[in-house]
């Protein structure tokens, strides 16, 4: 598989409480040369945005301690971060509506490399369009 | 039913020159975390009164990480366990826990043998079997 690296590196925020999942998802993003910040729950993600951090893409799990993925997404969108691509990961059919209502752009039940490549390509196109 | 699903192949795709032992490291982390979770689940089951919400949360974590490494049988048994939690079926939970512990031990043994075999074979010039 060829991994695209056109243009400047994307900045991703990974929101995931399970260590094993953090390790795997971080490695996937590293494969695509994505600059990744990792936090362990929704509250930490919100705090980064409150602190003025910006990201091109947020990948967030659903159920996490302190603050869930959908709760964090709602707060991030309410702050005015409307252009950042937000992807719900490990989302079952049951939770998809909650993620979409909160403001997620996409939901995936399982993140695979091929799917991530497409998502990052879409994120890159969106970023290039908005900076043109 | 096999012990691992295609998610395990995703881990192998993440292994390269910069992370030559990635799969074994992720699997080692999984067994470290999952052993701890199984102990916590056992303690939670024996507690009175039962806290099915906490039990469900612990099993959800186990399901999440098991699913990420492709541990198919463990993931399925976690779903059964969660259904028992939802029904507040303590006997069902106990049976699920025993089954999960057996699946966990079997998977650990099989993967240890697998990695031992890989070490004997040497660097990655071998064909990877799709059935594990």
Q: Tens-of-pLDDT digits for all 132 residues of chain A?
A: 444 444 468 999 999 999 999 999 999 999 999 999 999 999 999 999 999 999 999 999 999 989 999 999 999 999 999 999 999 998 888 889 999 999 999 999 888 999 999 999 999 998 888 776
Strands, sheet with A85-89, edge to edge from the N-terminal-most edge strand? A35-39, A11-15, A57-60, A85-89, A106-108
Judged by CB atoms closer than 8 Å, whether chains meet at A24 and B14 is answered as yes
> In a structure prediction context, what are the per-residue pLDDT tens digits for chain B, which is 132 residues long?
788 888 999 999 999 999 999 999 999 999 999 999 999 999 999 988 889 999 999 999 999 999 999 999 999 999 999 999 999 999 999 999 999 999 999 999 999 999 999 888 876 554 454 445
Residue A77's pLDDT is what? Answer: 97
Q: What is the Cα–Cα distance from B21 to A114, expressed in whole angstroms?
A: 22
Q: In chain A, what are the domains?
A: 11-131 (3.40.50.2300)
Q: How far apart are CA B102 and CA A16, in angstroms?
A: 28
Q: Could you tell me the residue ranges of all domains in chain B? A: 6-13+21-116
Residues of B in contact with A94 (CB under 8 A): none
Superfamily holding B6-13+21-116: HPT domain (1.20.120.160)
For residue A27, the chain B residue with the least C-alpha distance is B14
């Amino acid at each position: 598989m060829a991994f695209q690296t056109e243009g400047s590196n994307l900045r991703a925020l990974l929101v995931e409480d399970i260590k094993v999942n953090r390790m795997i998802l971080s490695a996937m993003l590293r494969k695509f040369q994505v600059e990744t910040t990792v936090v362990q729950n929704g509250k930490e993600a919100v705090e980064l945005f409150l602190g003025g951090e910006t990201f091109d893409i947020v990948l967030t799990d659903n159920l996490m301690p302190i603050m869930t993925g959908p709760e964090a997404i709602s707060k991030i969108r309410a702050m005015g971060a409307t252009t950042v691509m937000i992807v719900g990961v490990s989302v079952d059919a049951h939770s998809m509506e909650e993620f979409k209502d909160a403001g997620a752009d996409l939901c995936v039940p399982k993140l695979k490399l091929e799917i991530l490549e497409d998502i990052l390509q879409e994120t890159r196109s969106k970023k290039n369009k908005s900076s043109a | 039913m096999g012990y691992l699903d295609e998610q395990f192949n995703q881990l192998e795709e993440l292994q390269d020159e910069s992370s030559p032992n990635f799969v074994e490291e992720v699997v080692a982390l999984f067994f470290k975390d999952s052993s701890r979770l199984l102990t916590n689940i056992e303690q939670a089951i024996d507690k009175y009164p039962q806290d099915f919400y906490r039990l469900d949360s612990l099993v959800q974590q186990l399901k999440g990480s098991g699913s990420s490494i492709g541990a198919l049988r463990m993931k399925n048994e976690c779903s059964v366990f969660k259904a028992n939690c939802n029904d507040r079926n303590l006997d069902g939970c106990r049976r699920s826990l025993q089954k999960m512990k057996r699946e966990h031990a079997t998977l650990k043994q099989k993967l240890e043998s697998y990695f031992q075999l890989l070490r004997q074979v040497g660097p990655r010039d071998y064909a990877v079997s799709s059935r594990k």
